[in-house]
């Protein structure tokens, strides 16, 4: 139902480096980058995704109003674990180690990391172990 999502970051270069590393285990890569002269905001933007479709966007630079929460689908629990390790290695802060979250449903396996701006980025797998 959602085609893509985007949110602002305070330091574009730092955020682009973080997401390049943190999203790699999920199969996401930097697909497109728009310069400041190509965006409505007048700030650069980067689109990450799979199979040539950028559906996860970061951009802008400056003061952030409120952090966001974004959950990305992982194919299996091992990938959730790899996302968590990669995001921490890229400078993220742990906001919930990989594990079951039965309060959502019995097979909800997720991990949460705060990016350099405090955005809560999650990888989640809904499949049984």
Strand 29-34 vs strand 120-125: parallel, antiparallel, or unpaired? unpaired
Residues 68, 113 contacting (CB under 8 angstroms): no
- Euclidean distance between CA atoms 98 and 70, whole angstroms: 16
Tokens read off for 30: 């930097």
For the chain, domain boundaries: 5-125
**What digits encode the pLDDT tens for the residues 67-126?**
999 999 999 999 999 999 999 999 999 999 999 999 999 999 999 999 999 999 999 999
- Euclidean distance between CA atoms 116 and 81, whole angstroms: 19
More confident residue, 15 or 41: 15
Give the pLDDT of residue 77. 98
Residues 64, 117 contacting (CB under 8 angstroms): yes
Looking at domain 5-125, which of 3.40.640.10, 3.40.50.300, 1.20.120.430, 3.10.180.10 is its CATH number?
3.10.180.10
pTM for the whole structure: 0.92
**What digits encode the pLDDT tens for the residues 28-79?**
999 999 988 988 788 899 999 999 999 999 998 777 778 999 999 999 999 9
């Amino acid at each position: 139902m959602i085609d893509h999502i985007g949110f602002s970051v305070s330091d574009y270069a730092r955020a682009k480096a973080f997401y390049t590393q943190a999203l790699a285990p999920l199969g996401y890569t930097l697909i497109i980058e728009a310069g400041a002269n190509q965006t409505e905001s007048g700030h650069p933007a980067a689109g990450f995704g799979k199979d040539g479709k950028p559906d996860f966007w970061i951009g802008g630079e400056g003061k952030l109003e409120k952090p966001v929460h974004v959950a990305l689908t992982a194919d299996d629990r091992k990938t959730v674990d790899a996302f968590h390790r990669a995001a921490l290695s890229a400078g993220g802060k742990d906001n919930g180690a990989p594990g079951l979250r039965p309060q959502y449903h019995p097979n909800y396996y997720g991990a949460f990391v705060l990016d350099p701006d405090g955005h809560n980025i999650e990888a989640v797998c809904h499949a049984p172990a």
